[in-house]
Amino acid sequence: MWVLRYLRLLWVQVLVGVALGLAVGALWPHFGAALKPLGDGFIKLIKMAVAPVIFCTVAAGIARMGDLKAFGRLGARTLIYFEVMSTFALVIGLVVGEVVHPGQGFNIDPASLDPKAVADYVAKAQHGQTVADYLLHLIPDTFVSAFSGGDLLQVLVIAILTGFACTRMGDFGTRTADVLDDIAQVFFGIIGVIVRLAPIGAFGAMAYTVGKFGVESLKNLSALVGTFYLTSALFVVIVLGAVAALSGFSIWKFLRYIREELLIVLGASSSEAALPLIMAKLQRLGAGKGTVGLVVPAGYSFNLDGTNIYMTLATLFLAQATNIHLTWQQEFTLLGVAMLTSKGASGVSGAGFITLAATLAVIPDLPIAALGLLLGVDRFMSQCRALTNLIGNGVGTLVIARWEGDLDRDRLKAELDRGPGPDPEALLEEPLPS
């Protein structure tokens, strides 16, 4: 009977889905690869409800904030924190690459590499944007197009404008904020229904990954994959652990509290799949709704710790594998460019690979075709990137909330001590703290 009791828990069901996906992908590769739509479908269902949740949460939070100076202070502190942590992650990836040398011994001739294998990724990366283009892209063509296109930064912009407008409308603005809260609750309920499909999505995504690329692909590049996973784990435990401890909570208790979200991200290979869930969990932990609404969506574009570690570590791996020596000037250039290109990566699987292609363009000595060496394992590394990104954004939100005085510390301690509590779908159906 205890087995049936545990099988009712979503995180256990996701684990079972991941295990079955691994087995199917390994035993029947072609069938496993054909199951990709299951994972993609789950992510699309989640993304369908993400934009309305962000809009309603951010707009209502700003409307209730009232003091625009307080909002400006929150935004400034958020960007400062993101930049510090992102730079830290980039430097760690660079240092680990220089110390471990994961690409040493491959001795690959750059002339033997096939540029066609990565042509699509390079083409996407070459559609680079100037600063002006990037800023103009933040403005949607229409109010509705931000939602239909699924661009979270555009949704964030119109949510901020809506929130500002509400602060100028007195009682009507307050009533509008109440309506937005009610609408957000409806979409959280929708996500609560969708999240029951997480085990199926995890099963399909894992079966596709193993069936398409195979466990064999891990053997040749095991040094790189292992180094990346270990570096990311140490970053979470040591760096984020220290930040969490300074802010008054344990990183281990926090990881236990968001275990369902971590497993969903692991299965879907996308941190975006858990975005609404992590927002609900952070509010339950005592972070203010306005802070959560601003910091979490912004973090999905500006605070990608896992992607940052990957970019510098993978670049050094490719240089070492092709016996190309990078000067310290080139490494500093790489660091500077990566600080910019990493800000455009989203929570979708594969975005980190495209960002890496854009970053490599600043090192002419390193052939872009070398990216083909990573194709077979990028999906496995994407899972680690997504997990690290999610944890980094969760910790960052709590830290910034405390910095702003918008964190109920007693509630945080009580919730972390209590543990994960109900399954995510039950959490989403409950009224969230204001």
Mean pLDDT, the chain, as a whole number?
81
Q: At what angle do helices 275-284 and 378-403 cross, to 10 degrees?
A: 30
pLDDT for residue 231 is more than 90: yes
Tens-digit pLDDT profile for residues 115-167: 555 555 555 545 555 557 667 777 888 888 888 877 777 888 898 889 888 88
- H or E, element range at 379: helix 378-403
**Confidence tier at 399 by pLDDT (50, 70, 90):** very high
Whether the per-residue pLDDT at 100 is higher than 70: the answer is yes
pLDDT(434) > 60: no
Q: What angle do CA 141, 147, 150 make, to 5 degrees?
A: 100
- Cα 189 to Cα 181, 194, 294, 431: the distances in Å are 12, 9, 21, 10
Q: How distant, in Å, are the alpha carbons of 56, 148, 177 from that of 63?
A: 10, 24, 6
For residue 424, which of 292, 328, 252, 281 has the smallest C-alpha distance? Answer: 281
State which H helix or E strand residue 367 sits in: none
One-letter amino acid identity for 418?
A: R
Backbone angles phi, psi at 407, to 5 degrees: -130, 125
DSSP letter assigned to residue 236: I
Q: Which residue has the higher pLDDT, 107 or 410?
A: 410
* H-assigned helices in 28-169: 29-33, 36-65, 68-100, 119-126, 131-137, 145-149, 152-167
Classify the C-alpha dihedral 147-305-295-391 as positive or negative. Answer: positive
| CATH class of the 68-158+218-429 domain in this structure | mainly alpha
Parse the chain into domains and list their residue ranges: 68-158+218-429
Say how far apart CA 61 and CA 434 lie, in whole Å: 9
Query: What are the residues whose beta carbons fall under 8 Å from the beta carbon of 252, sequence distance 6 or more?
Result: 241
Q: pLDDT value at position 47?
A: 81
pLDDT for res 108: 75
Distance CA 96, CA 91 (A): 9
CA atoms within 13 A on the CB side of 408: 17
Tokens representing 15? Answer: 């684990």
Residues 2-24, mean pLDDT to the nearest whole number: 79
Structure tokens at 286: 């005592």
CA distance 209 to 229: 17
Query: 342 falls in which pLDDT band (50, 70, 90)?
Result: low
- Give the C-alpha separation, 274 to 265, whole Å: 6
H or E element: which one contains 201? helix 198-213
Reported confidence tier of residue 425, pLDDT bands at 50, 70, 90 = low
Structure tokens at 96: 């680990």
Task: Find which of 160-169, 268-277, 385-394, 417-426 is predicted with most confidence, using mean pLDDT.
Answer: 385-394
Contact call for residues 377 and 384 (beta carbons, < 8 A): no
Per-residue pLDDT at 64 = 76
Percent of the chain whose predicted confidence (pLDDT) is above 70:
83
pLDDT of residue 123: 54
User: Under a CB-based contact definition with an 8 Å cutoff, are residues 415 and 257 in contact?
Assistant: yes
Say what the pLDDT of residue 348 is: 46
Pick the residue with more confidence: 221 or 234?
234
**Residue 376 Cα to chain centre, angstroms:** 21
Q: What is the pLDDT of residue 10?
A: 77
